[in-house]
Structure 1
Amino acid sequence: MIVSPEPKRRAYREAGWWGDKTLADLFFANATRHPDRLALVDAPNRASIAFGEPARLTYAEMRDEVERLAGALLAAGIDKDDVIVVQLPNISEFVALYFAAATIGAIVSPVAVQYRSHELSTIFDIVKPRAYVCGTHMHHADHLGVARPLLRGDVALMTFGPDAPEDAVDLSNAQAKAELLRDYIDKTKVDADDIFTICWTSGTTGMPKGVPRSHNHWIAIAPGTYQPSGLREGDVLLNPFPLINMASIGGVTMSWLKVCGTMVLHHPFDPQVYLGQIAMERPQFTIAPPAILNMLLQDEALLAKVDLSSLRTIGSGSAPLAPAMVRGFQDRFGIMVVNLFGSNEGMSLVTGPDAVPDPFERASYFPREMVLEPMMGGAAAPIAQTRLVPPEGGAAITEEGVAGELQISGPAVFESYHDAPDQTEAAFTEDGFYKSGDLFEIAGGGRFYRFVGRCKDLIIRGGVNISPEEIDQLLGGHPDLAEACVFALPDPIMGERIGVAAVPRGGAAVTLDDITRFLREQDLAVFKLPERLFEFDSLPRNVTNKVMRSEVRDMALAMLEGAD
């Protein structure tokens, strides 16, 4: 049974979580207030990853580009509620295209630049787009060649970049259609409740699921980043995550929209370019994967060359944070690391320095109730209602130390998967809570949640549940490991044992004894110690930079078979 969203929507509006403004309305208001403020900055290596020289756009210049692209979409036959699949890296055109689509009420479905025909054909079948947008040049990718055979029927091909093919709409050189746009806006109502994006779940197996989010869904989740991170009017934000998911859109882009700041783009992740942008653009906020922050803190030679003094806060997540890393940035540089946990569906747990000053607690815990001020006005209130329920079902968990699936409801949570009623029904409880698939436990005297792992990733050794993320988190502080990941190995006696995939740092020789000795020093229970070591050159990651634990496990099992 799918619960009707209408009563909740009314309540969200009354509380100020939702409103009547679209994202385009908010952008144009910013451009009117601060036309000469710098809005967007391309990465300095843009030409080497895509095409064209890096752009630096003021809000007035970006407004002109948004309106030009909106007119170009209309002239190409794109209308309200039409889906546009976009496959671009983080370049200024991508951001402008988002707000051009928002202006006319079109729906952007962004996909990873790494996707090829397998993923694209599935996505096209699900959303049935009216257009596909890519660049004419992309380092190590031929998006035109891959996508063209899939563009059947009335799907328009649109491109940015030089040498546009004759059968494509050349968005880089399309002329402004001011009168067409003006007439369209006069006749067409774009509502803040309309769907604005369809993003994709990042699972590594099974059918992808499209996650529709309205303008109001994005507006509701925005305070979850800019408030705990202490962002201020006009701040500079460095955005290294692809513009296709919650971290980049909900975390950085929405915060940029709120504070009318400058967004500095970066993609794909290159540590040298990234650190150079911190030095040149002087951001007050950025996000970074935990592995990068661990690496930076442990590289004294690199730290000596980097000026981090502009940064006040760094958001990090997608994997457990090492407490030593969070404390290191705070003690050495006065930089507060904000612990972020989210998903495209609208999961939002955030631990900022005001709510949790202690860096060790901030690395490990999330407040059970996150009280924020809604972006559209209204009194501060919890952004979500949450509860823990045993994975096999039953009453909500109230005691500490018992793992349960986190279920969540609130104005930032999506309402259904795109054109997938069976998947939607499986994802929600009868009373409308989203079943996250993430295991947490109550901790800290009842004040916090502590992440335990994914329901499907638990290691069950001799009937005892073991969280792989807990061990990963501790191994993040090992001085000789660049990264590590533990996983389940089949065992005829214990059911499962623990394997560890390790990437040594700088050619260091690391043994299983070294790893278990380190974990014993952290006072980890003996039954949680890894029992087999697999050395990797690097760990496989998906497009959102998460380690693909199931793929690591498959590779390790293949190593065992090869050794037999």
Structure 2
Amino acid sequence: MSSLFPALVSGSTAPRPALRFGDRSLTYAELAASAGALAARLDGRERVAVWATPSLETAVGVVAALLAGVPAVPLNPKSGEGELGHILGDSAPSLVLAEPGVELPSPVGDLERVDVQVGAAGQDTPARPGTEPDDPAAPALVVYTSGTTGPPKGAVIPRRAIASTLDALADAWQWTGDDVLVHGLPLFHVHGLILGILGPLRRGAAVRHLGRFSAEGVTRELGTGATMLFGVPTMYHRLAEALVEDTELAKALGGARLLVSGSAALPVHDHERITAATGRRVVERYGMTETLMNTSVRVDGEPRPGTVGVPLPGVDVRLVEEDGTTIASYDADGTPTGTYDGETVGEIQVRGPNLFTEYLNRPDATAAAFTEDGWFRTGDMAVVDPDGSVRIVGRKATDLIKSGGYKIGAGEIENALLEHPAVREAAVTGEPDEDLGERIVAWIVPADPEAPPAAEELADHVARRLAPHKRPRTVRFLTSLPRNDMGKILKRALPDAVAKAPKHD
């Protein structure tokens, strides 16, 4: 297998920008030297942890491990001691790579520590083009899942998955070495690390990390030569809100070549507000830890707000009913087949070189994640629209509501609610109901907490936008929705707010 980073191992010493975090930066020559020197120290290690702060050191540490062929385990600095203990016990790294001066909590602090040196240190040491494994299936990263259904599982990501995903995105997004990416995403997850750091480096492009996301940072970077922005829906919602008065932000976003949102669905209302203010549309893609990226809206295709586009090159996608019947799939040329009416809901299943190889130390969980014929069960429910675009309607475990004989996706109701001017945030779940099986419950953060909209008004709004059977039967008002570090709503945490939330049935 060829190198994951051709620009690093080509021997080039050109002062081309590679990484910038705040006022600190590295050229490709400096990155090759720093990562190459560290890679030499990692030879023979079975696995290393990386204390994944938003820093040059994290990026250099991960690149060095990949150059050395040593699997890296990114650690979330916000994780608690119990979760860190589980991850370290499960993955058994022999050392931790960290930013100098950063204090490591227990039990991470008990590991052998190697401070990552960047810049002047080791710049005369060349990169090591011969050290990367030739085996495409060789493990590159062990990325731990969010652990919503139990202790986090370590998804083993092979080198072929990183290469195939990044090359497929380059095709869909026309991503080249001339691009400059801006983002403020955490580096312990697929979105921020693989797409946001390794993606530009594979293309020979540059990345500017904001450290902490802000509209001001986005304006500054897109206004000074950056061409792409990656974010999650929470970030784009904040940008949409700021665009009401910020003409400089509108100009900066309008000048970008590509705006990408991922990790959760971007509400159609925010799509429309951003496009109206900037003339630029936001592109959505769909992936997860175990599969990296599966689908995306293409930059050379039609705008499709509310969808995650079509399968990426090399990725097979199908929608399957509970009994195993395939509802819809795609031919080799990407043409949809089966039922693609935008209404028939099925679970997304995928296969391709982008998939993980196993859950570390969990053969039982690995076997359960795949069908007998080798497709990965994503647990995401979707429909295929008549034009072939995939539209996700929710998670099988939390977002598929069976009410009155209908299968209803929470996502489309959430989008409808967010189009109401009195709604700032919305989440939809199902609760047991003796008559309907499940009733639809809407959790609302009102735009004006002192004057929330009437429950019946919101229910009627959904019924007009979608269908009468999709109207919420219960509405609960909250001051905020619980979210994880990637901005995803933690629906399992919503019932904890019941006692504090006024109920309108």
Q: Please, what TM-score do these two structures have when normalized by structure 1?
A: 0.78
Residue 449 of structure 1 corresponds to which residue in structure 2? 390
Amino acid at match of 1:291: T
Alignment root-mean-square deviation, CA: 3.0
Give the deviation of 1:62 after TM superposition. Answer: 1.8
The answer to whether structure 1 residue 548 and structure 2 residue 494 are counterparts is no
Distance in 1, Cα, partners of 2:94 & 2:12: 34
Matched-pair contact (CA < 8 Å) for 1:22–1:102: no
The answer to whether structure 1 residue 225 and structure 2 residue 169 are counterparts is yes
Residue 384 of structure 1 corresponds to which residue in structure 2? 315
Amino acid at match of 1:385: D
Distance in 1, Cα, partners of 2:403 & 2:244: 42
Residue 419 of structure 1 corresponds to which residue in structure 2? 361
Matched-pair contact (CA < 8 Å) for 1:501–1:535: yes
Quickly say closer, same or farther: Cα 1:239–1:450, change in 2 above 3 A.
same
Amino acid at match of 1:202: S
Residue 331 of structure 2 corresponds to which residue in structure 1? none
Matched-pair contact (CA < 8 Å) for 1:480–1:508: no
Summarize deviations over 1:127-167 as a string: whole Å, max 9, x none: 111012344666xxxx5233357x3xxx413346xxxxxxx
Residue 157 of structure 1 corresponds to which residue in structure 2? 113
Distance in 2, Cα, partners of 1:518 & 1:295: 24
Q: For 2:172, what is the secondary structure of its paired residue?
A: coil
Quickly say closer, same or farther: Cα 1:286–1:562, change in 2 above 3 A.
closer
The answer to whether structure 1 residue 348 and structure 2 residue 286 are counterparts is no
Q: For 2:274, what is the secondary structure of its paired residue?
A: helix
- Percent identity (aligned): 25
Q: For 1:145, what is the secondary structure of its paired residue?
A: coil
The answer to whether structure 1 residue 216 and structure 2 residue 160 are counterparts is yes
Distance in 1, Cα, partners of 2:14 & 2:295: 34
Quickly say closer, same or farther: Cα 1:303–1:481, change in 2 above 3 A.
farther
Matched-pair contact (CA < 8 Å) for 1:405–1:440: yes
> Structure 2 matches for 1:73-88, cutoff 5 A?
74=41, 78-80=42-44, 82-88=46-52
The answer to whether structure 1 residue 41 and structure 2 residue 20 are counterparts is yes
Give the deviation of 1:294 after TM superposition. Answer: 3.2
Q: Please, what TM-score do these two structures have when normalized by structure 2?
A: 0.87
Amino acid at match of 1:122: H
> Structure 2 matches for 1:492-531, cutoff 5 A?
492-505=434-447, 507=449, 509-511=451-453, 512-521=455-464, 523-531=465-473
Distance in 1, Cα, partners of 2:60 & 2:141: 14
Distance in 1, Cα, partners of 2:497 & 2:405: 23
Residue 79 of structure 2 corresponds to which residue in structure 1? 115
Residue 229 of structure 2 corresponds to which residue in structure 1? 286
Summarize deviations over 1:11-47 as a string: whole Å, max 9, x none: xxxxxxxxx2232555333xx446211111113xxxx
Count of matched residue pairs: 487
Give the deviation of 1:108 after TM superposition. Answer: 0.8
Residue 326 of structure 1 corresponds to which residue in structure 2? 271
Summarize deviations over 1:390-410 as a string: whole Å, max 9, x none: 134345552233211111111
Residue 102 of structure 1 corresponds to which residue in structure 2? 66
Amino acid at match of 2:476: F
Residue 146 of structure 1 corresponds to which residue in structure 2? 106
Q: For 1:61, what is the secondary structure of its paired residue?
A: helix
Amino acid at match of 1:64: A
Amino acid at match of 2:279: G
Distance in 2, Cα, partners of 1:478 & 1:340: 25
Give the deviation of 1:478 after TM superposition. Answer: 3.0
Q: Which runs of 5+ in 1 are unaligned?
A: 1-19, 44-53, 161-170, 371-381
Summarize deviations over 1:269-305 as a string: whole Å, max 9, x none: 34444444434x4321111222332342344444324
2:255 alignment partner, one of 296, 302, 310:
310
Q: Which runs of 5+ in 2 are unaligned?
A: 329-337
Q: For 1:86, what is the secondary structure of its paired residue?
A: strand
Matched-pair contact (CA < 8 Å) for 1:316–1:337: yes
Higher relative contact order (CA 8 A, sep 6+): 1
Distance in 1, Cα, partners of 2:135 & 2:181: 25
Give the deviation of 1:120 after TM superposition. Answer: 0.8
Distance in 1, Cα, partners of 2:92 & 2:183: 30
Quickly say closer, same or farther: Cα 1:88–1:255, change in 2 above 3 A.
closer
Matched-pair contact (CA < 8 Å) for 1:480–1:505: yes
Give the deviation of 1:338 after TM superposition. Answer: 1.0
Give the deviation of 1:198 after TM superposition. Answer: 0.6
Amino acid at match of 1:242: P
Quickly say closer, same or farther: Cα 1:189–1:404, change in 2 above 3 A.
closer
Residue 405 of structure 1 corresponds to which residue in structure 2? 347
Matched-pair contact (CA < 8 Å) for 1:236–1:282: yes
Summarize deviations over 1:80-110 as a string: whole Å, max 9, x none: 4521121222211111111111222211111
Matched-pair contact (CA < 8 Å) for 1:159–1:172: no
Quickly say closer, same or farther: Cα 1:336–1:560, change in 2 above 3 A.
closer
Distance in 2, Cα, partners of 1:229 & 1:497: 40
Matched-pair contact (CA < 8 Å) for 2:345–2:407: no
**Mean CA deviation greater in 479-488 or 225-234:** 225-234
Amino acid at match of 1:366: G
Quickly say closer, same or farther: Cα 1:34–1:489, change in 2 above 3 A.
farther
Matched-pair contact (CA < 8 Å) for 1:240–1:266: yes
Matched-pair contact (CA < 8 Å) for 2:6–2:202: no
Q: For 1:341, what is the secondary structure of its paired residue?
A: strand
Distance in 2, Cα, partners of 1:518 & 1:275: 35
Matched-pair contact (CA < 8 Å) for 2:7–2:28: no
Distance in 2, Cα, partners of 1:485 & 1:132: 38
Residue 244 of structure 1 corresponds to which residue in structure 2? 188
Quickly say closer, same or farther: Cα 1:25–1:145, change in 2 above 3 A.
same
> Structure 2 matches for 1:147-186, cutoff 5 A?
147-148=107-108, 151=110, 155-159=111-115, 171=117, 176=122
Quickly say closer, same or farther: Cα 1:148–1:122, change in 2 above 3 A.
closer
Distance in 2, Cα, partners of 1:89 & 1:504: 34
The answer to whether structure 1 residue 428 and structure 2 residue 377 are counterparts is no
Give the deviation of 1:209 after TM superposition. Answer: 1.3
Amino acid at match of 1:157: R
Q: For 2:306, what is the secondary structure of its paired residue?
A: helix
Residue 8 of structure 1 corresponds to which residue in structure 2? none
Give the deviation of 1:561 after TM superposition. Answer: 11
Distance in 2, Cα, partners of 1:300 & 1:388: 37
